[in-house]
Amino acid sequence: MYFKKEFLDKLKDGKKIVFFTGAGISAESGISTFRGKDGIWNKMKPEELANFDAFIRNPDLVWEWYQHRRNIVNNALPNAGHTAIAELEKFYEVSVVTQNIDNLHRRAGSTKIFELHGNIERNFCIECHTFYNSPELETTNTVPKCKKCGGLIRPDVVWFGEMLPQDEFSGGEKAAEWSDICFVVGTSAVVYPAAHIPISAKRAGSYLVEINIEPTELSRYTDYSWFGKAGEILPKILEEVKKFKN
Ligand code: OAD
Ligand code: ZN
């Protein structure tokens, strides 16, 4: 495996690393990405499902769609990419800043995770804001009602037109700015404000490395773009690190 020297030096000297991840890191776990030829947004219009008005108009339909995605996520396993990131915690101070809602970084063992777009396992009442984890709710395909006030319960994910959770965003942005290396893995990097994070990292002097199966909007800003599957490249990086960090 060929490693660019400059990148290898960064790996040797670096202490803080950040992984900014998107749907592509979970593709090898069998979870569809949003864009691209097999993307979910080719089959479903986001404006019909992933927004608050759609939920109010047809809560059962939106709930059912998320229930379908919960089933996919629960039956999926973290892949070699997620696992390599978790194992890198033995050698670096690692932060994961993810746009994914699928919990696979946590299940792989990563401990410091900023979830920019929420988490499909968490839900809340739109009236009184009581939180419910998915297993506490009946797994029917109709929208559940709050035990306290009877309000509709929605998934705690960010929909179109909604703000990102501020603590997660600012925590993720700081981690990126303080990092020595920022890896951008499996994201088209077109959805803002999330996509600002790797740009902030680069502006603050972090070494920006992209891992993707194809070039993206970000490729022209990166210090190093590496084209291939995340589940194959990340374990190779881990192997290389073990050679000099052990
Ligand atoms: P996208 O579907 O836009 O992009 C997925 C990226 O992963 C593409 O650039 C693919 O080339 C790449 N990819 C696919 N398979 C890969 C693999 N095995 N290894 C490496 N890369 C691979 O997904 P995101 O960038 O995550 O937001 O999308 C960002 C946001 O758009 C999502 O969080 C979601 C969506 O609207 C919300 O729901 C708020
Ligand atoms: Zn309630």
CATH at residue 240: 3.40.50.1220
Q: Which domain holds residue 44?
A: 33-75+120-157
In angstroms, the Cα distances linking 178 to 99, 201, 205 are 19, 7, 9
CATH number at residue 63: 3.30.1600.10
Pair of tokens at residue 22: 């998107």
Do 93 and 63 lie in one domain? The reply is no
Do 128 and 246 lie in one domain? The reply is no
191-206 average pLDDT score? 97
The residue count of the chain comes to 246
101, amino acid identity: I
119-139 average pLDDT score? 91
Pair of tokens at residue 165: 């959770």
Check: CB of residue 118 under 8 Å from CB of residue 100: no
Catalytic-role residue among 82, 105, 117, 129: 117
CA-to-CA distance for 106 and 83, rounded, in angstroms?
10
Do 212 and 180 lie in one domain? The reply is yes
Range name among 33-37, 80-84, 87-91, 155-159 with the lowest pLDDT average: 33-37
Residue 245: is its pLDDT beyond 70? yes
Number of domains in the chain: 2
Bridge partners for 207 per DSSP: 181
Ligand 1 in reach of 219 Cβ (< 6 A): no
Do 201 and 234 lie in one domain? The reply is yes
Do 149 and 245 lie in one domain? The reply is no
Q: Which ligand is nearest to the CA of 147?
A: 2
pLDDT at 139: 63
Do 203 and 245 lie in one domain? The reply is yes
Task: Give the global pTM.
Answer: 0.96
Number of Cβ within 10 Å of residue 152's Cβ equals: 17
Bridge partners for 93 per DSSP: 16
234-240 average pLDDT score? 97
The rounded Å distance from CA 170 to ligand 2 centre is 28
86-91 average pLDDT score? 98
Strands 16-21 and 93-98: parallel
For the chain, percent of residues with pLDDT exceeding 70: 98
Ligand 1 in reach of 119 Cβ (< 6 A): no
The average confidence (pLDDT) of the chain is 94
Active site (annotated) includes residue 117: yes
Question: Which residues does 116 contact at the CB level (< 8 Å), separation at least 6?
Answer: 97, 98, 99, 158, 164, 165, 168, 169, 172, 194, 197
Do 104 and 126 lie in one domain? The reply is no
Give the tens place of pLDDT for each residue, 7-56.
Answer: 999 999 999 999 999 999 999 999 999 887 778 777 777 777 899 999 99
Domain end (from 157, 180, 206): 157
Give the tens place of pLDDT for each residue, 96-128.
Answer: 999 999 999 999 999 999 999 999 999 999 999
Do 231 and 129 lie in one domain? The reply is no
Ligand 1 in reach of 165 Cβ (< 6 A): no
Q: Which ligand is nearest to the CA of 46?
A: 1
Do 151 and 243 lie in one domain? The reply is no
